[in-house]
Amino acid sequence: MRVKVLSRNPDDYVRETKLDLQRVPRNYDPVLHPFEVPREYTRAMNATKLERLFAKPFLSSLDGHRDGVNCMAKHPKSLSTVLSGACDGEVKIWNLAKRQCIRTIQAHEGFVRGMCARFCGTSFFTVGDDKTVKQWKMESPEYGEEEEPIHTILGKTVYTGIDHHWKEAVFATCGHQVDIWDEQRTSPMCSLTWGFDSISSVKFNPIETYLLGSCASDRNIVLYDMRKSTPLKKVILNMRTNTLCWNPMEAFIFTAANEDYNLYTFDMRYLESPVMVHMDHVSAVLDVDYSPTGKEFVSASFDKSVRIFPVDKGHSREVYHTKRMQHVITVKWTSDNKYILCGSDEMNIRLWKANASEKLGVLAPREKAAMNYNQKLKEKFQYHPKIRRIAQHRHLPKSIFGQIKEQRIMREARRRKELNRRKHSKPGSVPFVSERKKHIVAVVK
Amino acid sequence: MAEEWLGMEAAVSASEGEDEGQEDGERRHQQLLQAVSDLSGRKRRKLAERTEASVQVSEFNVSCKGTGEKLVLSELLQPIRPKSTLSSVKKELTRVKQKKAVELPLSKEEAKRVVREAAYVRTSKDVGKWQQVVLQNRRAEQLVFPLKQEIATVVPLEQVVSAWKARTPLEQEIFGLLHKTQQPVTDPLLTPEETASLQAMSLEEARQRRAELQKARVVQSYYEAKARREKKIKSKKYHRVLKKSKRRKALKEFELLHKSDPEAALARLEELEQLRMQERMSLKHQNKGKWARSKAIMAKYDLEARKAMQEQLAKNKELMQKVQVELPEDEPGDVPEEDLTSVTIPVGARGANPWMLGKPSGPVEEPEVQEGLGDIAVPDAAETEEEMSEEEALLQDFAQKRNVRQQRAGSPEGPGADETEAVSELPGDSPIHPICAEEEQASMRLKQPPQAQEDILLSEQLRRVQSMEDVDALASEEHVEEQEKPMAARSEKPMATRAKKQVQQQEEGRAGNGCAKKPPAKKKIISLQAVLAGKPQEVQCPSLPMVMEDEEGGSDQRGVITEAFAGDDVVADFRREKRKAEQATKPQPVNLVLPGWGEWGGTGLKPSTKKTKRFMLKPPPAPPRKDQHLPHVIMSEKRNIHAAAHQVSELPFPFERHQQFEQSIQTPLGPTWNTQRAFQKLTAPRVVTRAGHIIQPISAEDVPNTATEAGSGAKPALEIVPKRQEQPLRHPHRKAR
């Protein structure tokens, strides 16, 4: 007779020390683990629910300004420093880690219209309603020193925006024209004009640094080349563009925030139609900033909300709002891709998480693995209706919700009217115009 | 200035040399003036000079001064050709004829537009060189930001401090103190004293010292290399010889030391002792370490490991040995006594503790016992000796008792009293004795059998019967034993000889029953054990072990299953189920009969058949079932609404066929279905960022290929695009990961 006995070698399952991980022998035979799709579906559903459960994006509010926050600038070298300018001419420098204001400067009389930091982070520039451009030291003045700008340039007209070159000691201002300045001189190196109108914003391309983009109040977006000191091309949209922002990872892509509630992402080589129209806001979009990874951007709107759009999607993936936040005038995405800052009318700067349900702080490796797995599951099952419903559900304030509904009705009516017109007119006389082309009036060479 | 003067003089002298003798002083003067004016750098307007014609032209002499050529006589002899003055005019005319009218210049607007267009084309081409990079990044499985992994550099403290100045009163005070005490402020590494001391060292000294150090280092490295080389030698013999020589050397040295300096030798001895103690204390050779355990595992298979293990054990033993403490001689009082006791105690306890017995006490009885054992193999182990001694002790006891009894028998007391006395006496004796004390004692007799039986039962379970013959034998033996038991109870014999007896009995039984087929080896073992145990050991199993064959069980699996499920008819069940399903899916007739309409209604009244016929709606027959021709299948065609709510109704955007989508859903991602590595790969995030790191915009340096090609100039940068298309790039950010 043979007796079969279970025999196990303790070396296979006993840990050497109690700090070791338990060895778990696994059998991956699919027969032993049935129902993989339903099980993963359940997991995905749970992950989605948990994501919504943990979505608490609002971190803190930085208050201290005595008027609406009109502009902000990131420090190029320090993540914890951010600068903000208010409508009363006050500039504040904030420490985000402590959530404190570390310095306050009365920089201008009237609005601080624009500000930017020098690429090395040693100084910053502000322009204001008092027709001046001022350069300030980033460090607070030493003991006994007075708080005053390093340089002050007095211009002839009001400057409405400023941006610094990404590599050289050159900056550009806009107002009635785009001026390019050497830091050492009090008169511009060159002035770029194409028609006369007030230009609201000018931005240097972060990759091909000689390129500039500007948007003016006569509804156009103009591109410039600094090397030739000439404008390149102009595209006229249906309505005025408030700001534009270049993609920091894709040299020829920029996004424009328009008054017609939409954002337009352009490829500068093909300006005839935008690459993508981003719709979701229900009021004028006032500011836009790209995430440093170039995959997403954040927009601030007059409808008291901040939205995050993927670059390649027409609709936003996230909307942030609070009861107290009024018209959001300026928005910035921090350079570590983690946070979003928005400055609004009611004098506060708000700090949000860029990923609403992200856990802050250090993650254990297992936590990280679980997080990645959940993320992939959500991605995999994103088209399933129940999961999509949960993932896309956002609470909106009544005003925005009502507006969205109203606009949906209006859009539907317009569509119906066009359909009817097409039906009752000669075939071909009412052409189909794609959504992308609809908003472009002309491209001027 | 001096050089200019020199130059001027040189010029003057040169001019002197040139036209020596020809020109007069005035000319010289002119030239001097010229030279001076040249020096000033600016061209001075030359004053018009008037010369007299007579110098060049004279009626007597033809001079060709002023013209470069020589005058040839033949030229003078030739006739003068008339030269037309109109040729130049003609040329002008033709030129005018050829020229077209100059176009009007472009308007300012248009000119600007042309410039813009050209610039736009060029810029968009420039920007287009990023196309490939952008596409790759968009398609990339994973991007790790920041693209350029910067290495954090620590700025030396001096640099930081040097830029800083004390401004507040407190800071100034502190710095004043520091300065006063000559503490380092800007260069905090060295105080003035230290720097001074550093300076004190001369160059020569430093060099010498450096050379020394160098030499020492070289020597050290040589030795290290040598030691490494020697260590690498695998030959055991070499190492053995080496060790031996070392030991010898050490001994020799020690001897020398002993001779020359006995005190030092003593100290060295002590030192050795100290070393040994330390070694002992260190718990190094306790066989508990990782190494020892691993060796213990390996020892089974590996000779080397076994050897190492043994060495280790020997070392351990050596260390664990108690050191003989040589007691000083001034206190001999107690110690010898202790020694005595320690020696004497075993002697006294010899009877009680069998382990203390060295040899059998009574050599006389030995032969008898051996006789009693009969044909048993001679026991050689110590155990048998001990048992024998026990038996001897018992025998001695018996003899004593017998003497006592005989003495008592001489006394006038009756046997009854004797018995009671004996009983009362018994507990006083050693515990083993009373069991086998006296055959005559009835109480004794009553006590004994249960114990004996117990022993028998216990020992019975120790042996395993291995063949059918054994089993048979067992059965017979049991039978014999049963017969024996009463006999044993009746026969009153001492315990000591019982074992021997049983063996004899067994032999008798065997002989009597005629079971002579039993193998003799078995017999031997059994009898040996019986003797060795010192207790009655019957090699009998109380129960018959089950005998089953493996092959039978394996082959009959199917049979077993059919047997187990003999009652239920699965096929019929299924058929019934299917019929039920078919019935359920058949469209049911709708009954619209309302009782009471047009006729009497109430309890117990049924609507008329005419009415039911009229109002029963027969639905159209259902389409044929899909499992019509599949006897073993039930196909449910009902759509589950609850499941439908969870299902995707239309093909989502990036997918082109529904198979693709289904495939993507059916591949599991989780660790339940994938190995750890695969799981990690499957769930790797698309974008990885590092906390607290600034992500800079992409630049040419981040993309290795463009960086090299764009670095050579602006023009080649435009030619990158076709090149890239030829050879697909590696992923640009793999490197950074």
What are the pLDDT digits (tens) for B25-40?
888 898 888 888 777 6
Tell me, yes or no, if A432 comes closer than 8 A to chain B by beta carbon: no
User: First and final CA of chain A: distance in angstroms?
Assistant: 98
- For residue B687, what are the β-bridge partners? B143
What does each C-alpha distance from B119 to A205, A211, B27, B722 come to in angstroms?
Answer: 16, 11, 64, 22
CA distance B519 to B522: 6
Peptide bond into B146 cis (omega under 30): yes
Hey, are the CB atoms on A206 and B697 less than 8 Å from each other? yes
Distance to chain B for A248, nearest Cα, Å: 5
pLDDT, greater one: B186 or A11: A11
Contacting residues of B for A47, CB less than 8 Å apart = none
Distance CA A256, CA A260 (A): 11
What is the model's pLDDT at position A39?
95
- The sign of the dihedral angle between the CA atoms of B467, B471, B472, B477 is positive
- The pLDDT tens digits of the residues spanning A324-365 come to 999 999 999 999 999 999 999 999 999 999 999 999 989 999
Which pLDDT score is estimated for B83? 63
Closest CB to B116: pick one of A77, A231, A269. Answer: A231
| Partners of residue A39 in chain B, C-beta under 8 Å | 670, 672
Q: At A192, is the secondary structure helix, strand, or coil?
A: strand
Q: Is A212 left (phi over 0), alpha (psi -120 to 50) or beta?
A: beta
Mean of pLDDT values over A371-395: 95
pLDDT at B149: 74
Q: What is the pTM of this model?
A: 0.56
The alpha carbon of residue B727 is apart from the nearest alpha carbon of chain A, in Å, by 21
**E strand intervals along A38-160:** 58-63, 69-74, 81-86, 90-95, 100-106, 112-117, 123-128, 132-137, 151-154
Identify the structural domains of chain A with CATH numbers, from first to last: 65-284 (2.130.10.10)
Look at residues B270, B272, B295 and name the one whose alpha carbon lies nearest to residue B285. B295
pLDDT digits over B579-604, tens only?
998 888 888 888 888 888 888 888 88
User: Is A80 a residue whose pLDDT tops 90?
Assistant: yes
- A386 with B646: Cβ contact below 8 A: yes
Give the single-character DSSP code of B547: -
Q: Give chain B positions within 8 Å (CB) of A166.
A: 697
Beta sheet of A170-174, edge-to-edge order: A161-164, A170-174, A178-182, A188-192
Question: Which two structure tokens, joined as six digits, stand for A412?
Answer: 């539907």
For chain B, say whether A231 makes contact (Cβ under 8 Å).
Answer: yes
SS (H, E, C) B265-280: HHHHHHHHHHHHHHHH
Q: Bigger pLDDT: A94 or B630?
A: A94
Q: Please give the Cα distance from A203 to A338 (Å, whole number).
A: 23
pLDDT reading at B613 higher than 80: yes
Nearest to A204 by CA among A157, A158, A169: A169
Tens-place pLDDT, residues A144-201: 888 899 999 999 999 999 999 999 999 999 999 999 999 999 999 999 988 878 999 9
Contacts of A78 (CB under 8 A, 6+ apart): A121
Q: Which residues pair with A352 in a beta bridge?
A: A58, A340
Q: For residues A328 and B73, which has the higher predicted lDDT (pLDDT)?
A: A328
The structure tokens 């401090």 sit at B161
Does residue A56 register a pLDDT over 90? yes
CA distance B322 to A357: 70
Q: CA B726, B727, B728, B734: dihedral to nearest 10 degrees? A: -150
Q: How far apart are CA A67 and CA B202, in angstroms?
A: 70
Q: What's the confidence (pLDDT) of residue B562?
A: 77
At residue B517 the predicted structure's pLDDT band, cuts being 50, 70 and 90, is very low
Query: Is residue B574's pLDDT more than 70?
Result: yes
Q: Is the pLDDT of residue A42 over 90?
A: yes
Q: What is the pLDDT of residue A49?
A: 96
pLDDT at B75: 73
**Model confidence band, residue B326 (pLDDT cutoffs 50, 70, 90):** low
pLDDT at B344 over 70: no
Of B539, B541, B517, B513, nearest in space to B526 by CA: B539
**Secondary element (H or E) of residue B232:** helix B203-232
Q: Tell me the residue type at B574.
A: F
Sign of the Cα pseudo-torsion (B277, B282, B288, B290, in order):
negative
Q: How confident is the model at residue B184 (pLDDT cuts 50, 70, 90)?
A: low
- Predicted confidence at residue A172, as pLDDT, reads 95
pLDDT value, residue A47: 96
Residue with tokens 């050492």: A184
Phi, psi dihedrals of residue B78, rounded to the nearest 5°: -70, 155
Which H/E stretch holds residue B176?
helix B169-180
Could A33 and B699 be called an inter-chain contact, meaning their C-beta atoms sit closer than 8 Å?
no
A338 touches chain B (CB under 8 A): yes
The mean pLDDT of B357-386, rounded to a whole number, is 43
Query: Is pLDDT above 90 for B46?
Result: no
Mean pLDDT of chain A: 93
- Helices (H), ranges, B376-519: 382-410, 415-425, 442-460, 468-490, 498-513
- Residues B703 and B698: their CA atoms lie apart, in Å, by 8
pLDDT of residue B104: 87
Is B153 in CB contact (< 8 Å) with chain A?
no
Rounded to a whole number of angstroms, the distance from the CA of A420 to the nearest CA of chain B is 28
ipTM: 0.92
The pair phi, psi for residue A149, each rounded to 5°, is -70, 155
Backbone angles phi, psi at B712, to 5 degrees: -75, -15
Strand partners, A123: A137
Report the length, in residues, of chain A. 445
Q: Can you count the helices (H) and strands (E) in chain A? A: 5, 29
| Token output for A215 | 């948007």
How many residues does the structure list for chain B? 737
Whole-angstrom CA distances from B243 to A284, B229, B274 are 92, 16, 22
Q: How many CB atoms lie within 10 A of CB B455?
A: 15
Nearest residue to B522 via CA among B581, B586, B467:
B467
With b meaning 16 or more CB within 10 Å and e meaning fewer, what string describes B61-94?
eeeeeeeeeeeeeeeeeeeeeeeeeeeeeeeeee
Question: Which of B706, B695, B134, B47 shows the shortest CA–CA distance to A333?
Answer: B695
3-state secondary structure of B516: coil
Q: How far is A183 from chain B (nearest CA, A)?
A: 23
Please give the interface size between A and B, counted as residue pairs whose CB atoms are below 8 Å apart: 162
Cα gap A326→A303, rounded to integer Å: 8
Write down the pLDDT at residue B26: 86
Structure letter (DSSP) for residue A167: S
Which residues fall within 8 angstroms of residue A376, CB to CB, at 6 or more apart? B669, B682, B683
Asked if the Cβ–Cβ distance from B646 to A41 is below 8 Å, we say yes
User: How high is the pLDDT of residue B21?
Assistant: 53
Q: Closest partner residue to B646 among A142, A208, A384, by Cβ?
A: A384
Q: Is A256 helix (H, G, I), strand (E, B) or coil?
A: strand
* pLDDT higher than 80, residue B43: no
Could you tell me which residues are beta bridge partners of residue A154? A132
Which residue shows structure tokens 């032969």? B367
- Is the CB of B696 inside 8 Å of chain A's CB atoms? yes
CA dist A92 and A74 (Å) reads 12
| Residue scoring higher pLDDT (B73 or A237) | A237
Give me B400's structure tokens: 């004593």
Flag the least confident range among A18-22, A376-380, B269-273, B711-715.
Answer: B711-715
Cα distances (Å, whole numbers) of residue B44 to B25, B28, B40: 22, 18, 9
Tell me the two tokens of residue A163. Answer: 């941006």
Cβ–Cβ below 8 Å for B120 and A207: no
The yes-or-no verdict on residue B15 having pLDDT over 70 is no
Structure tokens at A86: 């208010």
Q: What does the pLDDT look like over B457-478, one tens digit per residue?
A: 444 444 454 555 554 555 555 4
Does position B658 have pLDDT exceeding 60, yes or no?
yes
Report which of residues A441 and B334 the model is more confident about.
Answer: A441
Whether the CA torsion B623, B626, B627, B628 is positive or negative: it is positive
Task: Provide the pLDDT for residue B189.
Answer: 66
Residue B674 contacts A, CB cutoff 8 Å:
yes
Best CA proximity match to B530, nearest among B549, B558, B507, B553: B507
Residues in A closer than 8 angstroms to B137, CB to CB, are 249-250, 294
Q: Does B575 have pLDDT greater than 80?
A: yes
